[in-house]
Amino acid sequence: MTRFAAPIAEQIWDMKYRFKEADGTPIDLSVEDSWRRIARALAEVEKKPAVWEEKFYSALEDFQYLPAGRITAGAGTARSVTLFNCFVMGTIPDSMSGIFDMLKEAALTMQQGGGIGYDFSTIRPKGAHVAGVAADASGPLSFMDVWDAMCRTIMSAGSRRGAMMATMRCDHPDVEHFISAKADSARLRMFNLSVLVTDPFMEAVKADGSWDLQFDGKVYHTVKARDLWNKIMKATYDYAEPGVIFIDRINKANNLSYIEQISATNPCGEQPLPPYGACLLGSINLARLVDTPFETGAEIPEAKLDELVALAVRMMDNVVDASNFPLPQQAEEARNKRRIGLGVTGLADALLMMGLRYGSEEAAAQTEKWLKRIARASYLASVELAKEKGAFPLFDAEKFLASGNMLQMDDDVREAIRTHGIRNALLTSIAPTGTISLYAGNVSSGIEPVFAYAYTRKVLQKDGTRTEEEVVDYAVQMWRDKFGDVELPDYFVNAQTLAPLDHVRMQAAAQKWIDSSISKTINCPEDISFEGFKSVYMEAYETGCKGCTTYRPNDVTGSVLSVSEKTEKTPAETPAVVTESEGGGAEVVYMSEPLDRPQSLEGHTYKLKWPDSEHAIYLTINDIIVGGHRRPFEVFINSKNMEHYAWTVALTRMISAVFRRGGDVSFVVEELKAVFDPRGGAWVQGKYIPSILAAIGGVIEKHLVATGFLEGEGKGLKADPTAKVVGLDAPRGKACPSCGQFSMMMVEGCMTCSSCGHSKCG
């Protein structure tokens, strides 16, 4: 009997979390081996490791407690990786040497697999005077470009790109440039962006007052607060960034407000952290804890929840001592405060099992009840650890009890902390759980609603073929097993059908008892009005949220993957589909199978002469006409230089295979142009090209612009109408850069592939 509830769960475990030799030979022969490895590693710091190993195993068993991916993949492997998921780096000095010292620290952190956050508000604005040199400052965005380039060159542990968050205060003179940075789709691709919004700014917005943009005491501009707010809103309405972080609320609610100031978060926003702050993450799987699901009296037993939370807190506290850290400052910060981020996943599924409609007042009340119980149990477990192992080194009872979330905590918990201290300064956070939720049997992710009841994914087999399999939500499968294939009750709702304010209600209910923050996406319909869209953010502010992230599908962000309960299969005899373009321009065509090659194709051949190379490279790009529009079909890359033979053949085959699948293939250009050669690039026609592969990407981009497929250099598709696939009624998501499936969707503030679990945020 397998422990996995679905085939995709076992596949995710094998790809992401299974411990293997360097050659791919499995060391973990079963998921029980993985649980044992993690339990043993985290029990090693205990005085009685054998006793705690068994208890930790019992918490991990059957996916009840889910440590975050870094812990699940790295604990007990003896590999030089960090078990911490997220870091906020040190304050960036406003000097050239200080800035590049920070860049080095970021590279070292990302090399070990950590996502990082930075506040770029400390860098003087563009055009400001620089003392001692005859030049003006280039501004924070120019240095963000440098960070972005660095991130492209570093692969995080587990072959995952590092993720970065950049924040900027709403009163920085360059904030308007920051807001509009993502209008260029090729810029800052490795960053998530968020504006740090203050309470005085929000009051000025409501009062339609003026707002000073200033740096180091000097006012550079004065604008209308409402105009600046509208610019933030219009940017995220159009291309989903920047996010909004209510920074004053974060600092006021911080248990450590007496010793630290926060100005940045980790990449997905659930961990506001001080300079060199680090946090580890883990989730209680509520979907596995409901007794008598779908029956009268269904509930999560409080004693069962309390016991699991206590074990999870102890395991996470042990990670602080068991983990490597990229930098000594991060180790010191973590051990001085012993922050942990225990959250939940499977919330929506658990609500369904109790007959509650996600987004309703009743569901919000139940969510608040569960999370208060988890908060109480977490704090009391940390008190017990303090009795045994000591409080966190910077604990001050009176200051701690007068800070942040402690002001609303129950009297018995406050008294216990006053008497015995507490081991961990902060304990709760709700992180993105997309991949670990798939691993746990496709439970609903974090506190998000069910994204899709069921969908079909294509799975790559060892012989190169693809098979189709249905992926069913955990609660839906449980319903089917219990009642058969009957119509789902009306309280089964999903992310696409919910009203945006229902999302906000759930986020606000959860935030009340979360001492850090929450990673959550508020899905908005494409046709929501701009005024309606703005009201979502204002409601989030007024109801106590610490931040707000929305996703509105459109031509820039792409359609959200949407599927029905019973998805029709594409007929085998229908290998391709043509969509009509609205207003002309590029055509986005999605193929269920690769197109066959016609007898003849139109194309162009380009000569690429790379400096210091004896032989030129010749690129032939052939196009196909689909729906009256021209799109790339294949590439041939040739050179007389035999040193180039293997990689040019490989590149020819790979790019051609991608082109023949259809869809938005502009990412091929973006990925090639992002390749940096550590030996150095070259200047070609007055422009620095970082590698020969980047030069090839530039040639392909030039061709796609000339044929009308791309809007222009560094830009996306000329037009991106909603695609419709023959035999499938639902629009598809964007193509995944990892597996190629059209399954990218916005979940918990991050573009995530539902087929392979690939996530932009690492």
* Residues designated as active site: 266, 268, 270
Token pair listed for 255: 């248990």
Q: Is the dihedral of CA 337, 379, 63, 481 positive or negative?
A: negative
Count Cα atoms within 13 angstroms, Cβ side, for 104: 7
Beta carbons of 255 and 425 less than 8 angstroms apart: yes
Beta carbons of 15 and 757 less than 8 angstroms apart: yes
Question: For residues 282 and 345, what is the distance between their CA atoms, to the nearest angstrom?
Answer: 9
H/E stretch holding 753 reads strand 750-753
Token pair listed for 546: 């610490």
Token pair listed for 264: 């940045």
Write down the H helix ranges in 276-429: 302-322, 328-337, 347-353, 361-389, 397-401, 411-420
Question: For residues 145 and 138, what is the distance between their CA atoms, to the nearest angstrom?
Answer: 11
Question: For residues 473 and 465, what is the distance between their CA atoms, to the nearest angstrom?
Answer: 25
Beta carbons of 304 and 363 less than 8 angstroms apart: no
Token pair listed for 70: 């870094």
Local structure of residue 456 (DSSP, 8 states): E
Q: Which of 161, 124, 140 is nearest to 758 (CA)?
A: 161
Beta carbons of 445 and 434 less than 8 angstroms apart: yes
Beta carbons of 337 and 436 less than 8 angstroms apart: no
H/E stretch holding 49 reads helix 49-60
Q: Which of 301, 257, 250, 287 is nearest to 271 (CA)?
A: 250
H/E stretch holding 265 reads strand 264-265
For residue 115, give the amino acid letter.
Answer: G
Beta carbons of 299 and 290 less than 8 angstroms apart: yes
Q: Which of 239, 300, 200, 269 is nearest to 546 (CA)?
A: 269
Question: For residues 239 and 425, what is the distance between their CA atoms, to the nearest angstrom?
Answer: 37
| 695-to-102, 185, 610, 611, 683 alpha-carbon distances in Å | 30, 19, 8, 11, 10
| 529-to-192, 522, 532, 574, 731 alpha-carbon distances in Å | 24, 15, 5, 38, 22
Beta carbons of 167 and 264 less than 8 angstroms apart: yes
Question: For residues 214 and 210, what is the distance between their CA atoms, to the nearest angstrom?
Answer: 13
Question: For residues 579 and 575, what is the distance between their CA atoms, to the nearest angstrom?
Answer: 14
Q: Which of 426, 370, 374 is nearest to 395 (CA)?
A: 426
Question: For residues 245 and 546, what is the distance between their CA atoms, to the nearest angstrom?
Answer: 6
Helices 199-207, 225-239: inter-axial angle, 10-degree rounding: 100
Write down the H helix ranges in 242-346: 247-252, 302-322, 328-337
Q: Which of 515, 501, 514 is nearest to 543 (CA)?
A: 501
Peptide bond into 393 cis (omega under 30): no
CA angle 519, 525, 526 (to 5 degrees): 115
H/E stretch holding 278 reads strand 278-279
Question: For residues 56 and 59, what is the distance between their CA atoms, to the nearest angstrom?
Answer: 5
Token pair listed for 532: 């309606």
Helices 328-337, 302-322: inter-axial angle, 10-degree rounding: 150
